[in-house]
Amino acid sequence: MTKIEKFTHDGREFEIRAAALDQKIEAQSFYKGKRIATYTVTYETASDMQHHGWGNAVDQLIAYAKADIEHYQLPRLKAALEAVQP
């Protein structure tokens, strides 16, 4: 399972890729092809989230990644934006 979501923030296009791996679910955020953050959750935690009504883990990881970008919470984000001027 792979999910890719693109979105624009402050005139810049970002991409978030989420995938189910052997031991975990992982989402990575990218700007101009450069990875700026990785988010992971175990299958056990994903199952607990679903069971308790907290939503789908993939969707939650994507939401966290988007929020971090929108609120400039990532140390690598500033460096990525400076390295690749729009």
- 28-51 pLDDT, tens per residue? 999 999 899 999 999 999 999 888
Please, what is the average pLDDT of the chain?
Answer: 88
> For residue 86, is pLDDT > 60?
no
User: Can you tell me the mean pLDDT for 53-67?
Assistant: 92
Instruction: Give whole-number Cα distances, 86 to 1, 3, 10, 34, 68, in Å.
Output: 31, 25, 11, 14, 20
Whole-number percent of the chain with pLDDT over 70: 91
